[in-house]
């Protein structure tokens, strides 16, 4: 692992790192914020998964999470959204597919199967790497994300409920298998058999019996993607049928940007902190 940069902030450390991924078969970059409490022992972890076209950098620059994360004593890990490099298959003119748009799935179709293994990268390889390199309490993990990353947070938590104490999302893609901006990507990554897509669709996973104890979602009412790509009411319907407590906050006048995310970041951090520290 290579350290790209570190900076002291709110008495903690914001670092950016690069490593050779065997899962994605390329160099991958990620960031870790360590709160000051990490100097005295392992701290709980919050994963933040970014959305389409983003990298680890977007939330670092605009998410405004470090002040409160330092106060609460929570490390924040921000992975990239896809494999990177000149040799990675891509559609440069399509912002909804390829580099910057890995959708947190393990691709099964050529030529994407070699590199686009983002589900395994997040849940296995990167998790094992940070556990060995940083003072993290991996028995206390939570996960959140935005848009495509909100979709990623939901499916990862649903498929690994024993690992994550809580899950939240900002404007998640609730049902990517039918959304106009994600269905084409699913077909290219996963093939034409839509049954295989269910493993990466939060509403389908809940219909198929996967459960978490609770979900927090914030969604702006002025989000231009609300009615096509996001559709939080679909998640609300399946959660109600499955008796999963869902706190869905429809935020009047807010859009899809980091102005929206940064406004409610503190709410999500405090909510995760309650669950991460509930058993102490």
Exactly one of 166, 223, 268, 275 is catalytic; name it.
223
147: annotated active-site residue: yes
For the chain, what's the residue count? 280
Query: What are residue 77's DSSP bridge partners?
Result: 32, 47
> Is 218 among the catalytic positions?
no
Which of 144, 118, 150, 145 is CA-nearest to residue 230?
Answer: 150
For residue 40, indicate whether it is catalytic.
no
Question: Would you state the torsion angle of the CA atoms of residues 173, 174, 178, 180, taken in this order, to the nearest 10 degrees?
Answer: -30
Query: How many angstroms separate the CA atoms of 65 and 70, rounded?
Result: 9
List of residues 6+ apart from 178 with CB closer than 8 A: none
H and E: helices and strands count for the chain: 9, 9
Question: Which regions of the chain does DSSP assign to beta strands (E)?
Answer: 2-9, 12-21, 26-34, 43-49, 75-78, 136-145, 164-170, 215-220, 246-251
Please pick, among 50, 147, 166, 168, the residue that the annotation labels catalytic. Answer: 147
Name the catalytic one among 256, 268, 272, 275.
256
Query: What span, in angstroms and rounded, lies between the C-alpha atoms of 62 and 151?
Result: 20
Active site members: 147, 223, 256
């Amino acid at each position: 692992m290579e350290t790209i940069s570190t900076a002291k902030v709110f008495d903690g450390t914001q670092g950016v790192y690069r490593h050779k991924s065997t899962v994605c078969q390329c160099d991958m970059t990620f960031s870790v914020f360590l709160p000051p409490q990490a100097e005295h022992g392992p701290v709980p972890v919050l994963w933040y998964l970014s959305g389409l076209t983003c990298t680890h950098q977007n939330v670092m620059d605009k998410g405004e999470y470090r002040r409160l994360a330092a106060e609460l004593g929570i490390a924040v890990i921000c992975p990239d959204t896809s494999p990177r490099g000149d040799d990675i298959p891509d559609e440069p003119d399509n912002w909804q597919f390829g580099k910057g748009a890995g959708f947190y799935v393990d691709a099964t179709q050529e030529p994407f199967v070699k590199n686009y293994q983002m589900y395994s990268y997040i849940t296995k390889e990167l998790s094992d790497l940070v556990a060995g390199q940083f003072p993290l309490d991996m028995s206390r993990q939570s996960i959140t994300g935005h848009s495509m990353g909100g979709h990623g947070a939901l499916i990862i938590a649903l498929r690994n409920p024993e690992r994550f104490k809580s899950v939240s999302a900002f404007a998640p893609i609730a049902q990517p298998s039918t959304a106009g901006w994600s269905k084409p990507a699913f077909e290219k990554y996963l093939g034409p058999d839509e049954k295989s897509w269910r493993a990466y669709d939060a509403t389908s996973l809940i219909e198929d019996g996967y459960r978490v104890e609770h979900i927090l979602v914030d969604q702006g009412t002025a989000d231009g993607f609300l009615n096509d790509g996001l559709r939080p009411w679909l998640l609300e319907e399946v959660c109600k049928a499955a008796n999963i407590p869902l706190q869905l906050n429809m935020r009047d006048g807010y859009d899809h940007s980091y102005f929206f995310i940064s406004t409610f970041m503190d709410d999500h951090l405090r909510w995760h902190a309650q669950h991460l520290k509930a058993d102490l």
